[in-house]
A and B are shown apart, each in its own frame.
Chain A
Amino acid sequence: MRYCQLDRLISLDPGKHLVAERTLQPEEDYLRDHFPNFPVMPGVIMLEALHQAATWMIRTGDDFASPLVLLREARAVKFGDFLCPGDKLEITVELVKEEGSISTVKAFAEKNGKTTVSARLLLEKCSTDHPPWLGTDDIVRTQVRKKFQELYGSFQSSQNP
């Protein structure tokens, strides 16, 4: 999964709290353009790291019951510092509240204790709009669960033997 923005999970309280980390690798392609001779992680990629962390936190909270978890709002997004190749980002997300299908998540990432990005994300649990006979929701559910196992399965099994 080339779009994966989390290298590994550090802690996970399903549905409530998740901490992960991500190291910016010098060979990541977009760094050639962002910026020439001054490679730094694009802010939107940092935001995507928060989004992915929030999504996994929510998905594990109901054991992958929702086929889709969609980003509905990104509020109060602030960027505090650059992330350069070799720098490690520590990403923290925590559930603030759940109203119906909408989860409000406080999310931030730090580099050496200094905030690089923070935001409040609103995410919605929902299904695809495909007709049931296609079975898309089940396929998506299965694929997402499998992806989580592939990416972070070892973490899960070590936490929940």
Chain B
Amino acid sequence: MTATSEEVFAKVQTALIDALGVDDDEVKPGATLVGDLGAESIDFLDIVFRLEKAFGISIPREDLSPEDILTNGQFVKDGLVTAEGMAKLKSRMPWADLSKFEQKPRVQDFGNLLTVQDMCNYVMTKVGG
């Protein structure tokens, strides 16, 4: 199955509107899920469920929340992701724009990293658009 980026965006947008109760004009590509759209940890299960259903895909937990990397002493030093850790994150999440995070890779900021566009990019890797 292939999908155009417009189709993917429309479905991601619907999933976020329904899961977070936000308005469609708030779900812009650059909006962050946590900071701009107000997603709480409790919302992510719902978002994942809705995306899985909308696209007929399966989303393993570690795909969107690489906690195993962020809590591993090998990849984190003094609260910052090391160069090795960044390489690991990039290979795990090639669809995410990590350029801003890379400038100051504080683990505590990772949760507010993902944008609507990142989610669309992720889905595109799954549906082969």
Contacts and interface: CB of A to CB of B under 8 A. Distances in A.
A76 B41 contact: no
A120 interface: yes
A103 to B, nearest CB: 13
Contact of B21 (A76, A80, A115): A76
Nearest to B36: A96
A18 to B, nearest CB: 16
B40 A75 contact: no
Interface string B1-42: 000000000000000001111110000000000000010111
Contacts of B43: 76, 78, 118
Nearest to A75: B21
B46 interface: yes
A119 B42 contact: no
Contacts of A120: 20-22, 38
B33 to A, nearest CB: 13
B22 A118 contact: no
A96 B25 CA distance: 13
B55 to A, nearest CB: 20
Contacts of B38: 96, 106, 120
Interface in A71-111: 73, 75-76, 78, 80, 96, 104, 106, 108
Nearest to A99: B23
Contacts of B19: 76
Interface of A: 73, 75-76, 78, 80, 96, 104, 106, 108, 115, 118-120
23 contacts: A75-B21, A76-B18, A76-B19, A76-B21, A76-B43, A76-B46, A78-B40, A78-B42, A78-B46, A96-B38, A104-B23, A106-B38, A108-B40, A115-B40, A115-B41, A115-B42, A118-B40, A118-B42, A118-B43, A119-B21, A120-B21, A120-B22, A120-B38
